Amino acid sequence: MSYRLDRPVINGQRSGVWYVCWTDGRRSRRRSTGSTDKVIAQRFLAQFAALQDAPPERFVVRDLCDAYQKDREADPRVAYPKAIRNALNHVRAHFGDLPPSMVTPGAVKIYTRQRRVAGVTDATISKELRFLRQAFKNGRANGWLDVEPVIKVPGEGEPRNRVLTREEFARLWFHASPLHLRAFLALAISTGARGKHILALTWDRVDFSTGLIHFRPGRSANKRTAVVPMSHKLRPVLVLAHKAAGKSGRVVEWNGKPVKSVRRAYERACRLAGLDDAHRHDLRRTAASWAVADGVPIEQVALMLADSVETTRKHYAVFAPDYLRGAVDSIAGGR
């Protein structure tokens, strides 16, 4: 079969995007390369033509996305299945009919470029591609794939390092009017726990007599939790929340029902407080950095975060008041 590149007339206008065109019997067919660059389109054509002679794959990207989405929607621990569905809709629109082997690094770059042109932020593009990556992982776990395509998301490997100052947190606290948000903020800044573990915390694991909070163990080895004591500032917030508690049994609740996310309430408080680039996931980083800056040993901070000492030192040692002080003083004192 003969394949060629062309920019066909679609809806009365010459397409700016290159297409792979061929004839199947008496029927003309085409597939978009997704690019206006002829060099990139030629690479797509070469891959496409080579794959036509390879043994057929059983599943296309749409099948894998559908299976992954169905699994996540059936999991009661997934707070926002709609977010997964929305992200995968964009992935399906671009890659849906392709076999997984055609989701190459070059194809992912084209997707990223087109989404940027559409005005989508890198954070959103990264989220979409991470869900695609998880769909491939799910496919391999079920024996549908032998090899997972490599998916590189924009900005991967560049860790976020936003930390709130005490003055910024005070402004955030002032504008956090709903009690459930204040309970969340108090737990996050006082214990350094992850947001999902705070939202899953129930009153039977808050021991006012011993002053200890028992967070539910994480699902995986790298998402562990710790038993953390209440601070003198956290206790009155929890006492107030306990008096107003409904029937859900959750510490963070709204109208007697468990809170699945504090995103909207948190973002509203940030807007009122005039905080830029502040994310609710920054609270754990903020709590750890404050502790280290106040001279708390790295080992104790690691226990609070339920992380290894090596990981904690790697991320938070820079906040210690004597960070590398001995080294630079030694250099400055030399001849």
Res 25: pLDDT: 79
d(CA 161, CA 171): 20
Token readout for 333 is 């004192």
Res 322: pLDDT: 80
Q: Domain ranges in the chain? A: 1-54, 57-158, 166-319
User: Domain 166-319 is of which CATH architecture?
Assistant: Orthogonal Bundle (1.10)
User: Domain 57-158 is of which CATH architecture?
Assistant: Orthogonal Bundle (1.10)
According to DSSP, the β-strands at 13-14 and 9-10 are antiparallel
Res 217: pLDDT: 63
166-319 matches 57-158 in CATH topology = no
d(CA 316, CA 319): 6
Signed CA dihedral, 83, 84, 85, 87: sign only:
positive
What tens digit of pLDDT does each residue of 156-215 get?
Answer: 656 678 899 999 999 999 999 899 999 999 999 999 999 989 999 999 999 999 999 998
Res 52: pLDDT: 66
What tens digit of pLDDT does each residue of 100-151 get?
Answer: 988 988 889 999 999 999 999 888 999 999 999 999 999 888 888 888 898 9
In this prediction, residues 282-296 reach a mean pLDDT of 94
In this prediction, residues 299-312 reach a mean pLDDT of 91
Res 190: pLDDT: 95
220 confidence band (pLDDT: 50, 70, 90): very low
Res 221: pLDDT: 43
3 state DSSP class of 121: coil
pLDDT over 90 percentage in the chain: 51
d(CA 111, CA 268): 32
Res 158: pLDDT: 61
d(CA 317, CA 163): 14
What are φ and ψ of residue 34, in 5° steps?
75, 10
What tens digit of pLDDT does each residue of 108-120 get?
Answer: 999 999 999 999 9
DSSP summary character for residue 202: B
**CA-only gyration radius of the chain, Å:** 26
CB 109 within 8 A of CB 154: no
What tens digit of pLDDT does each residue of 26-67 get?
Answer: 888 888 888 899 998 898 888 777 766 555 567 889 999 999
pTM above 0.75, yes or no: no
Position 335 pLDDT exceeds 70: no
Position 75 pLDDT exceeds 90: no
Cα–Cα nearest to 189, from 320, 74, 288 = 288
3 state DSSP class of 167: helix
Res 175: pLDDT: 95
Token readout for 263 is 């995103």
Position 74 pLDDT exceeds 70: yes
